[in-house]
């Protein structure tokens, strides 16, 4: 049977071919469709919303991770800004429709619902690679004078999306959407309903659909799902006094939102490994910026549209020699050869300014070099330790309103008085509450593991100087204190005050007249992070073991013979041999001790040292006639009795 060509087939005539060719450049109106979401189940996507979704500007969000580097610790938390934005749009429509049904007197129009939904959909269009790594760290580090934010990027990308895809929308509506994303009236008509600006970005108390979605979505994909009933909260919402309020019986749910926010930041978003990889990616981006000029792309809508997490892959496969340093950093991430946490400490929020002035990378490096001893770390070339090798990080962990109780900014109503609202008072809800609502997480990192011990020693030296400084002054004395500039080391650390009248911290009660215990505690070393001098060193004996100076057999024999000679020297009258025999003995490897079996040697008690090689014994020299270690002499590393 003779085959029929496609052009001869009646289903593929010339007229039909013309239709297919034209359809490639025509954006046809789509019908209503549904999306299956793991958090909100079926989400209805209107034809109008799909006009925004089916664009390269919005589809770009598929390649930007919602939680940045957190997926390196929790692999399932690899969701993107794409699904988060669709979830926010869904909740935004749901909330406004509920208000429209329950309070018709608000005169909420279909236009209001549509534009609030679009604002929820487009609120994260301006995020760069790895989300907040880009706008929160990279841009400020390479453009310190720039005030650019991802919200500004969202406005730029929204304009680009509308213009390139020919979406029919008025300038007034575009300005309204932008102000809804910002959470405040700036360019829209003054007549727009004020409560609508609390839906996508609530500047009053942080209760918005953006938070409702990411708390549920992130918790679920991190493997720690929350029990918060967001649907109940949305149904509880009511507009009173031109702001969104909630039923008093739903206060526990509201409180749980704030508590969960704190937990997510404490346990997940600021996990040490995720933060370390953030800093490594940051260094890689900074290394390529001079060559690729990627930071300048924030001012070009076309260039920014192509900027996603995929930049890592593009750098990896590049043959350009200018990208070698960044490629080396990315290889370290793949091999899990990461920067190291040297120290961490939680500090009271009101002391943040004082801590930041006290602990800086330059001071740590300066102190490390001053305290360095080649006898302790002979493998380290201390002259190569630079300020850039140390990272000092301060992160504020809070419940949403910094040091304030966020519930103080939420108004509630009751079933008996649905049109009257007020703040909840103590006794209206559980009195089992945090005593403080914010704290500062301080971490010190080193980029090279070989510097771990030295950087820690430098940090603790700086810390000790400030810990011993005078306590904050009384109110009368505060005005007389001259605080050194943050860029200058104080000439006398022991007399430098932590307190600065410009800080948020209140001076202590004048009647106490004593050092504040909490301040002293904040500036004490973290014993859980203490390491030994050989920590992080790669040696023939294995990582973390100090090789010391290799000594020949003949040299060890000479040491043994010398000890025998000294051990038979005249006694000092206290039962010990004169000279340095006991001290020298402590420095000998355990295998040399077997040669000291002749009569007249000091009694030796052998004990294992925790951080030594398996089987390595370190001796403790005892006084004549002593049977315990109460009078043991030697270094502090020897275990006492």
pLDDT attached to residue 532: 87
Name the least confident of 234-248, 322-336, 571-585, 625-639.
Answer: 625-639
pLDDT attached to residue 583: 34
pLDDT attached to residue 360: 96
Going by the DSSP 8-state scheme, the letter that residue 134 receives in this structure is I
Mean pLDDT, range 312-326, rounded to an integer: 97
Q: Is the pLDDT of residue 418 over 50?
A: yes
pLDDT attached to residue 490: 38
CA distance 324 to 113: 50
Name the least confident of 344-348, 506-510, 588-592, 616-620.
Answer: 616-620
In which band, very low, low, confident or very high, does the pLDDT at 470 lie, cut at 50, 70 and 90? very low
Name the least confident of 58-67, 198-207, 384-393, 601-610.
Answer: 601-610
Average pLDDT of the chain, as a whole number: 80
Q: How many CB atoms lie within 10 A of CB 151?
A: 18
Q: Is the pLDDT of residue 334 over 70?
A: yes
Helix (H) / strand (E) element for 238: namely strand 238-240
If phi > 0 it is left, if psi is from -120 to 50 it is alpha, else beta; for residue 28 that is: beta
pLDDT attached to residue 162: 98
Mean pLDDT, range 521-533, rounded to an integer: 81
Q: Is the pLDDT of residue 565 over 70?
A: no
Architecture in CATH for domain 35-274: Orthogonal Bundle (1.10)
In which band, very low, low, confident or very high, does the pLDDT at 218 lie, cut at 50, 70 and 90? very high
pLDDT attached to residue 196: 98
In which band, very low, low, confident or very high, does the pLDDT at 504 lie, cut at 50, 70 and 90? low
- The domains of the chain are located at 35-274, 339-399+434-529, 553-621
Q: Within 13 Å and on the Cβ side, how many CA atoms surround 349?
A: 14
Residues 6+ apart with CB under 8 A from 450: 379, 380, 536, 537, 538
Using only the alpha carbons of the chain, give its radius of gyration: 33
Instruction: State pLDDT tens for residues 538-558.
Output: 644 444 444 444 444 454 445
pLDDT attached to residue 230: 97
Cβ pair 522, 355 in contact under 8 A = yes
CA distance 613 to 540: 13
Instruction: State pLDDT tens for residues 370-414.
Output: 989 888 888 889 999 999 999 999 999 999 999 999 999 999 999
Tell me the β-bridge partners of 604: 621
Q: Is the pLDDT of residue 120 over 50?
A: yes
Instruction: State pLDDT tens for residues 244-298.
Output: 999 999 999 999 999 999 999 999 999 999 999 999 999 999 999 999 999 999 9
Q: Is the pLDDT of residue 343 over 80?
A: yes
Q: Is the pLDDT of residue 84 over 80?
A: yes
Residues 6+ apart with CB under 8 A from 258: 206, 399, 400, 406, 407
> Which residue has 């997480």 as its token pair?
441
The two three-digit tokens of residue 267, written as one number: 């346990």
How do beta strands 390-398 and 604-608 pair?
unpaired
In which band, very low, low, confident or very high, does the pLDDT at 208 lie, cut at 50, 70 and 90? very high
pLDDT attached to residue 616: 34
Report the alpha-carbon angle 262-264-267, nearest 5. 100
Closest CA to 96 of 248, 200, 210, 247: 200
Q: Is the pLDDT of residue 326 over 70?
A: yes
Q: Of 329-338, 459-468, 619-628, give the range with the top mean pLDDT.
A: 329-338
Q: Within 13 Å and on the Cβ side, how many CA atoms surround 142?
A: 21
In which band, very low, low, confident or very high, does the pLDDT at 139 lie, cut at 50, 70 and 90? very high
Residues annotated catalytic, as ranges:
150
Phi, psi of 443 (to 5 degrees): -130, 145
Q: Where is pLDDT greater, at 331 or 618?
A: 331
Closest CA to 136 of 253, 266, 247, 275: 275
Q: Within 13 Å and on the Cβ side, how many CA atoms surround 231?
A: 4
Q: Where is pLDDT greater, at 423 or 580?
A: 423
pLDDT attached to residue 537: 78
In which band, very low, low, confident or very high, does the pLDDT at 517 lie, cut at 50, 70 and 90? low
pLDDT attached to residue 500: 54
> Which residue has 């810390």 as its token pair?
463
């Amino acid at each position: 049977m003779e085959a029929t060509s496609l052009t001869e087939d009646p289903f593929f005539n010339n007229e039909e071919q013309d239709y297919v060719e034209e359809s490639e450049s025509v954006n046809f109106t789509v019908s209503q469709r549904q999306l299956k979401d793991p958090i909100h189940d079926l989400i209805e996507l209107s034809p109008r919303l799909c006009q925004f979704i089916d664009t390269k500007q919005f589809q770009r969000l598929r390649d930007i991770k919602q939680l940045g580097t957190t997926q390196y610790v929790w692999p399932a938390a690899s969701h993107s800004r794409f699904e988060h934005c669709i979830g926010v749009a869904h909740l935004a429509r749901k909330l406004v429709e509920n208000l429209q049904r329950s309070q018709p007197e608000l005169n909420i129009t279909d236009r209001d619902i549509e534009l609030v939904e679009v604002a929820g959909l487009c609120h994260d269009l301006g995020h760069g690679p790895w989300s907040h790594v880009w706008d929160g760290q990279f841009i400020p580090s390479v453009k310190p004078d720039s005030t650019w934010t991802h919200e500004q990027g969202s406005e730029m990308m929204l304009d680009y999306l509308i213009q390139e895809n020919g979406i029919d929308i008025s300038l007034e509506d575009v300005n309204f959407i932008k102000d809804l994303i910002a959470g405040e009236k700036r360019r829209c008509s003054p007549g727009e309903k004020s409560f609508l600006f609390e839906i996508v970005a609530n500047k009053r108390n942080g209760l918005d659909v953006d938070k409702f979605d990411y708390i549920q979505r992130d918790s679920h994909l991190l493997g720690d799902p929350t029990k918060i009933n967001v649907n109940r909260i949305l149904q509880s919402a009511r507009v009173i006094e031109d702001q969104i309020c909630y039923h008093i019986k739903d206060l526990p749910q509201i409180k749980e939102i704030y508590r969960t926010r704190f937990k997510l930041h404490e346990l997940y978003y600021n996990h040490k490994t995720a933060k370390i990889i953030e800093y490594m990616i940051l260094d890689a981006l900074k290394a390529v910026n001079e060559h690729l000029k990627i930071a300048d792309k924030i001012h070009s809508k076309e260039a920014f549209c192509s900027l996603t997490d995929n930049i890592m892959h593009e750098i990896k496969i590049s043959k350009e020699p200018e990208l070698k340093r960044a490629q080396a950093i990315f290889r370290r991430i793949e091999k899990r050869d990461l920067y190291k946490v040297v120290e961490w400490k939680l500090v009271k929020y009101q002391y943040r300014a004082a801590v930041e002035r006290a602990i800086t990378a330059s001071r740590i490096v300066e102190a490390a070099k001053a305290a360095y001893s080649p006898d302790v770390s002979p493998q380290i070339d201390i002259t190569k330790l630079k300020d850039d090798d140390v990272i000092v990080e301060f992160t504020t962990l809070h419940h949403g309103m910094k040091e304030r109780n966020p519930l103080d900014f939420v108004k509630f109503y009751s079933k008996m008085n649905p049109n009257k609202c007020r703040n909840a008072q103590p006794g209206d809800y559980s009195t089992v509450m945090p005593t403080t609502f914010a704290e500062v997480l301080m971490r010190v990192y080193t980029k090279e593991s070989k510097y771990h011990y030295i950087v820690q020693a430098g940090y603790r030296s700086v810390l000790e100087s400030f810990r011993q400084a005078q306590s904050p002054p009384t109110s009368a004395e505060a005005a007389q204190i001259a605080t050194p500039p943050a860029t200058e080391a104080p000439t006398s650390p022991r007399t430098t005050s932590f307190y600065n009248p410009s800080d948020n911290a209140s001076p202590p009660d004048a009647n106490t007249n004593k050092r504040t215990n909490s301040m002293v505690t904040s500036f004490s070393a973290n014993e859980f992070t203490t390491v030994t001098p050989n920590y992080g060193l790669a040696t023939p004996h294995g990582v973390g073991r100090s090789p010391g100076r290799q000594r020949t057999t003949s040299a060890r024999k000479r040491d043994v013979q010398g000890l025998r000679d000294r051990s038979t020297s005249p006694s000092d009258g206290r039962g010990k041999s004169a000279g340095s025999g006991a001290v020298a003995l402590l420095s000998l490897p355990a295998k040399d001790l077997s040669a000291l079996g002749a009569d007249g040697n000091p009694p030796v008690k052998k004990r294992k040292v925790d951080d030594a090689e398996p089987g390595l014994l370190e001796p403790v020299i005892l006084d004549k006639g002593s049977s315990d270690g109460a009078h043991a002499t030697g270094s502090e590393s020897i275990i006492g009795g």
